[in-house]
Amino acid sequence: MRIRTFCNPNLSEVQMLLQRENDDTQNVDSLVATILAEVKQQGDCALREYTKCFDKAEISVLEVSQSEIDAARKETDEEFIAILQEAKENIWKFHAKQKREGFEIRETKGIVLGQKVTPLEKVGIYVPGGTASYPSTVLMNAIPAKIAGVEEIIMVTPPNSDGSIASDILVAAYLAGVDRIFKVGGAQAVAALAYGTETIHKVDKIVGPGNIFVATAKRMVYGLVDIDMIAGPSEILVIADESANPRHIAMDMLSQAEHDKLAAAFLVTTSEAFANKVESFLQEFVEKLPRCEIAKVAIENNSAIIVTDTLENAVSISNLIAPEHLEVCVDEPFALLPIIKHAGSIFLGKYAPEALGDYFAGPNHTLPTSGTARFSSPLSVDDYMKKSSFVYYEKKELEKVYKKIDKFARREGLDAHANSISIRFEEAGEAGAV
């Protein structure tokens, strides 16, 4: 792993560390465009054909039945159901604080200004599946939608080759209040949600993570529907000093490196000796991981340990990277919190590892990646709501200001705008003289 020393880093130096080696040069745009077009034209028939091609599953009925959900609940051990329930409660409690109401301003008699907040009607949630099972993704995406008041939550997830959906995913969907579940994944699932088919309703927004085909499809349908974000590979940055445990830090870095060969893990520390210890544990621990080959590539190609002189400079480096996950493993983490500007989710102290947020603590784990934490935020209840402003003026109040508006509009060369105001105060019979 690369160990770099910076005292006063600049953007170009840090950006050199962010270069990710990607051997996948395939241009997926044309393939995804073809899939989108065929699903738009052929509907369910195209979904079945692509599911057979990509997932090796023949699906006659796309929607998961209630009996399948009931069977999944029986198959899932009670201990794990209890864990899911507790995680749901934590996520619900955190996100319930985010729900906002509309407002009215009535400071002047005869004038009412305000904002109306309305939940989206239909939302589609994409959950990766097949060989993987991510019930945490179900909870994190569905619960904020439920709190927002979304009328219909539709979930799509690719099936196993036998046409089944992992029991853990179905149980999580049941607990989170998902309304309908369909056995379809990939770009074709995004197309179904964006255009609608014979059995899958067109939605207003698509959320949830996926591979490059899913991400590309979401990008291509954006504008027809809304999306949450285009998520890139996972990343973590840890700020630590000698008071931290190097074994813990090494494993925290690997917790993201095991996701993807393009994942990135950074340590920024004030101690070169500590950096060397962490590097040694990384090499030891990575060999023991079931996903060793994936983590090795991520650690060697996309990750780095950075040594700097002060914790303040460590934060400066972190702000330049704007990581998806930021761990602050120092004795006084709250002292650094005010100067942290850019991070998707911040984990403070030595006993708040990133995995705590992935599954259980309550804040959302759908986070901005690839430096987009500079300007975007984690998934929240706001993502499932829209806002409309409203204005009410009585005649006497408009009369007080109409000449000012008339002048403003004409200043911009928009005479019809000006006339739409002034016509309301012309004498009867002069209404056509504009």
Contact 212, 186 (CB under 8 A): no
Strands 385-393 and 111-119: antiparallel
Q: What's at 34, amino acid-wise? A: T
Contacts of 260 (CB under 8 A, 6+ apart): 233, 234, 294, 298
DSSP 8-class letter at 222: B
Neighbours of 319 (CB within 10 A): 18
Give the active site residue among 325, 327, 354, 365: 325
Within 59-183, strands assigned E span: 103-105, 111-119, 122-126, 152-157, 180-183
Give the active site residue among 324, 327, 354, 365: 324
Which among 300, 348, 303 has a CA at the least distance from the CA of 321?
Answer: 303
Contacts of 155 (CB under 8 A, 6+ apart): 124, 125, 126, 127, 138, 142, 173, 178, 180, 181, 182
Q: Which two tokens stand for residue 139?
A: 């909870």
User: How far does the chain reach from its first CA to its final CA, in angstroms?
Assistant: 75
DSSP 8-class letter at 62: -
Which among 140, 128, 157 has a CA at the least distance from the CA of 259?
Answer: 128
Verify whether residue 325 is a known catalytic residue. Answer: yes
235 strand-pairing partners: 264
Strands 103-105 and 325-329: unpaired
Supply the angle between the helices 44-54 and 186-195 in degrees, to the nearest 10. 170
Q: How far apart are CA 34 and CA 31, in angstroms?
A: 5
Q: Which two tokens stand for residue 38?
A: 């065929």
Q: How far apart are CA 403 and CA 415, in angstroms?
A: 13
Neighbours of 15 (CB within 10 A): 12
Contact 238, 245 (CB under 8 A): no
Verify whether residue 365 is a known catalytic residue. Answer: no
**Annotated catalytic sites, by residue?**
324-325
